[in-house]
Amino acid sequence: MQTWLTFSAIKMSTDKMVSSAGVCWTLADDFAQWWAEGEVVTGKEKGVGSVGSVTPISPESTAAVAPTPGPMEQVTCPSLVEEASHAAVTAQTSGSSRDSGSPLFSIRPSPKGGMGAFALSDIAESTVIMKELALFLATDGKGHLAEELEKLSVEERTEFSKLACYELLDRDRDTAIFKTNRFRTGSSSGIFLVASRFNHSCNPVIRYSYDYSNRQLIFSTKRDVKEGEELTIMYTPNSQYLSMDYGFLCDCGVCDPPLKVPVYYDRWADKVPHETDDW
Ligand SMILES: C[S@@+](CC[C@H](N)C(=O)[O-])C[C@H]1O[C@@H](n2cnc3c(N)ncnc32)[C@H](O)[C@@H]1O
So where are the chain's domains?
Answer: 22-269
Burial 107-133 (b: 16+ CB within 10 A, else e): bbebebebbbbbbbeebeeebbbbbbb
Look at residue 273 and tell me whether its pLDDT is greater than 70: yes
The 10s digit of each residue's pLDDT in 57-88 is 222 333 333 333 333 333 222 222 222 333 34
119, 120, 242, 246 from 5: Cα distances, Å = 12, 11, 27, 24
Q: Shortest CA distance to 65 belongs to which of 171, 145, 163?
A: 171
Gap from CA of 109 to ligand 1 centroid (Å): 11
Q: If you average pLDDT over residues 90-100, what whole number do you get?
A: 42
| Helices then strands, each counted (H, E), the chain | 7, 12
Indicate if the alpha-carbon torsion angle 102, 222, 83, 1 is positive or negative: positive
Gap from CA of 199 to ligand 1 centroid (Å): 5
Q: What confidence tier does 102 reach under pLDDT thresholds 50, 70, 90?
A: confident
- pLDDT for 274 equals 61
Determine the 3-state secondary structure of 14 from DSSP: helix
Neighbouring-strand partners of residue 137: 190
Does 135 or 30 have the greater pLDDT score? Answer: 135
Report whether 63 contacts 168 (CB < 8 A): yes
The Cα–Cα gap between 114 and 255 comes to: 22
Is the CB of 183 within 6 Å of ligand 1? no
- pLDDT for 143 equals 84
Is the CB of 164 within 6 Å of ligand 1? yes
Look at residue 141 and tell me whether its pLDDT is greater than 80: no
Residues in the chain: 279
- pLDDT for 257 equals 58
- pLDDT for 53 equals 19
Question: Which of 199, 202, 229 is the best mutation target for the ligand 1 pocket, counting ligand atoms within 8 Å of the beta carbon and taking the most?
Answer: 199
Gap from CA of 99 to ligand 1 centroid (Å): 31
Give the angle 7-185-141 at the CA atoms, nearest 5°: 125
The 10s digit of each residue's pLDDT in 230-255 is 999 999 988 888 988 999 988 888 87
Amino acid letter, residue 43: G
- pLDDT for 229 equals 98
Top mean pLDDT of 7-16, 28-37, 69-78, 174-183 is at 174-183
Does 54 or 63 have the greater pLDDT score? Answer: 63
Contacting residues for 267 by C-beta, under 8 A, at least 6 apart:
44, 54, 56, 57, 236, 238, 241
Is the CB of 72 within 6 Å of ligand 1? no
The Cα–Cα gap between 236 and 199 comes to: 12
Q: 22-269 maps to which CATH number?
A: 2.170.270.10
> How many CB atoms within 10 Å of residue 100?
12
Look at residue 198 and tell me whether its pLDDT is greater than 70: yes
The Cα–Cα gap between 268 and 275 comes to: 19
- pLDDT for 250 equals 84
Q: If you average pLDDT over residues 203-227, what whole number do you get?
A: 95
Which residue has the least CA distance to atom 21 on ligand 1? 112
- pLDDT for 193 equals 98
Say yes or no: ipTM exceeds 0.95.
yes
Report whether 178 contacts 157 (CB < 8 A): no
Reply yes or no: is the peptide bond before residue 257 cis, omega within 30 of 0: yes
Gap from CA of 187 to ligand 1 centroid (Å): 24
Determine the 3-state secondary structure of 49 from DSSP: strand
Is the CB of 231 within 6 Å of ligand 1? no
Q: What confidence tier does 50 reach under pLDDT thresholds 50, 70, 90?
A: very low
Is the CB of 166 within 6 Å of ligand 1? yes
DSSP alpha helix (H) spans, the chain:
20-23, 27-37, 86-94, 144-150, 154-161, 173-181, 240-246
DSSP-assigned letters across all residues of 31-88: HHHHHHHT---SGGG--EEETTEEEPPPGGGTSSS-SS---------GGGGTS--HHH
- pLDDT for 7 equals 52
The Cα–Cα gap between 153 and 149 comes to: 9
- pLDDT for 269 equals 46
The 10s digit of each residue's pLDDT in 220-234 is 999 999 999 999 999
Report whether 104 contacts 7 (CB < 8 A): yes
Top mean pLDDT of 66-80, 100-114, 185-199 is at 185-199
Of 39-43, 156-160, 199-203, minimum mean pLDDT range: 39-43
